[in-house]
Amino acid sequence: MHSRGDIALLTISFIVCFFNNGCCQIPIVKIADGLIQGNIAKTIGERKIYYSYKGIPYAQPPIGNLRFRAPVKNKPWEGILNATADKDGCVQQMDFLPLAVKGSEDCLYLNVYTRNISGNYPVMVWIYGGGFSIGGSEYEYYAPDFLLEKDVVFVSLNYRLGIFGFLSTEDMECPGNWGLKDQVLALRWVKENIKAFGGNPDQVTIFGQSAGSVSVSYLVQSKQTKGLFHRAIMQSGSSLCIWSLTTTARQIAFAIGSRLGIVTANSKELLAKLREVDHNTLKLAENQVVYLAIAIDNVLNGLPMGPVKEPDHEGAVFSSRSHEDLKNGAFQRVPVIIGLNSNEAKSFLGLIIGLIKPFFGRFDLDIARLTPHDLTGNLTKRTLAGAEIKEHYFGDQPIPINPSSNLIKFASIDQFNRPIRETVNLLSRYTDVYYYQFSHRGSLGEFESDFPGVGHYEEIFYIFANKADANTEDLYVRRAIVEFWTNFAKYGNPTPKPTDNLTWISNSPKKKTSDGVFYLNVNSTLTLDKNPDEDDWIFYQEIYHKYGDPPFSTY
């Protein structure tokens, strides 16, 4: 509840502001850190009034001695904070151009959108994707209009990227996961402050796509987040995806130092000297090392700069094997929605044909490269498994002359479908898991091609309002997925009442193993089905049974 003083302040702010189309222009909110002035707008669809508060600091700028450290809570401000415009995104390369840099190190801000600052609405906290190297929380990328129309409070946050968010020497000098620790601090801010914006701090759903979905998965596993959220939605990623875990972090860190003329094998000395390098030079050095690592290493083995298994210490986001944690129930047992698009790797067509396909010639010479990274360390087993995988997906032909469709299917199954289905299997031993496949290939999709299915990221335009034009089928799918997501935020169940005579059945501890795995196929019609990509699933289950050496981290 607001105090009398708070109510008086809000009343005065509404009286003194001027009106435009009958709407107040200066809604002011009070939190412990100070007063915040936002903007007023109307949603694109139903033209409902909402308030936005953009660029609220939740941490001190991570610069100087705070670079490559856990974020530190921001300091209070005097006067009224102008929260009417997006702040700069975090340092990143510009549009995948390795020689172009944009963004600022002073980037740890979040945005709050609400329709009623005196309400008690469920809260949805969005974590953007981008391979842990690009992305931002700006309205132009993630406009929450359709979600707001369903009476939720929406929060989006920035977190550090690339070397600034994920540098690690794999020891206590630089344990890493700074970007994930930014997310944890932002969730603590939500817990402490969201009531002032009309949000319920005891009804928080975290959700994200791609690297944002992986982030959600790690936050679900982390001991640092207990009590900070109550539901989770993971779109196209989990901590079991091979690309979710960096296993060469120390090597990459010292390679960046070497690129900058820092010749040392000492972590403390490396960190001290890297903190002296300006952010633009540092980012360019990272790009050079990372692109070289991708070119000469196995591109299937994970990102060169991303989340790492930290040394075990009090502030670690995670310091154990993800597959083991999920198998043993060592995670926040909240209800989960998790799924993927019907042909994820389709969106990486240009990368696959232009960069990866020529390098696949090395896979014919070293067939063990096709084997899941964490399957086994035994070279004989890796080679035997790789031979079976080669035959299953590419037959007798050399991989580079295979149809691109074969490469896309292999990449989709290997990098997304298999690990996400395993995540469903493990989570559902302990909690309700609603599994989906987004299959609607509509006009809002970003990556049109001759290949079937829906690629990575294409579902975003059905949740957010950054593409307003939509045909009849698009509108149906949009209404359905927005309703599912916001129902889940409100009730922990996407269909508390049937939608189009359909009830989305969860996978849960109560379900019999013989029932298979339920999933919702989201298309121009909604259908409940079982066991997606079953042939590929059975194939890899046999691979893991014959050649796998647990315990695993990824899958």
3-state secondary structure 246-281: CCCHHHHHHHHHHHCCCCCCCHHHHHHHHCCCCHHH
Q: Residue 209: which residues within 8 A CB-CB, separation 6 or more?
A: 128, 129, 235, 236, 237, 457, 459, 460
Beta bridge mates, 51: 40, 114
Q: What is the DSSP string of 517-539?
A: -EEEEESSSEEEEE-TTHHHHHH
- How many C-beta neighbours within 10 Å does residue 397 have? 12
Q: Are 300 and 415 in contact (CB under 8 A)?
A: yes
Q: Are 394 and 402 in contact (CB under 8 A)?
A: yes
Residue 30 corresponds to which amino acid? Answer: K
Phi, psi angle pair for 114, to nearest 5°: -150, 150
What six digits make up the tokens of 362?
């090395």
Phi, psi angle pair for 121, to nearest 5°: -85, 155
Which helix (DSSP H) or strand (DSSP E) does residue 383 occupy?
helix 379-394
- How many C-beta neighbours within 10 Å does residue 200 have? 17
Task: Report in angstroms the alpha-carbon separations of 302 from 45, 122, 373, 380.
Answer: 40, 35, 8, 22
d(CA 253, CA 171): 12
Q: Which of 168, 217, 456, 458 is catalytic?
A: 456
Q: Which of 105, 138, 286, 344 is catalytic?
A: 344
d(CA 241, CA 85): 35
What six digits make up the tokens of 304?
């060169």
Instruction: Please choose, from the candidates 441, 448, 445, 416, the residue with its C-alpha nearest in 3D space to the C-alpha of residue 532.
Output: 416
Annotated active-site residue 344? The verdict is yes
Q: Hey, is 204 helix, strand or coil? A: strand
Q: Are 133 and 246 in contact (CB under 8 A)?
A: no
* CA-angle at 448, arms to 444 and 449, nearest 5°: 160
Task: Report in angstroms the alpha-carbon separations of 222 from 183, 208, 303, 438.
Answer: 12, 16, 21, 28
Q: Which of 13, 52, 168, 210 is catalytic?
A: 210
Active site residues: 210, 344, 456
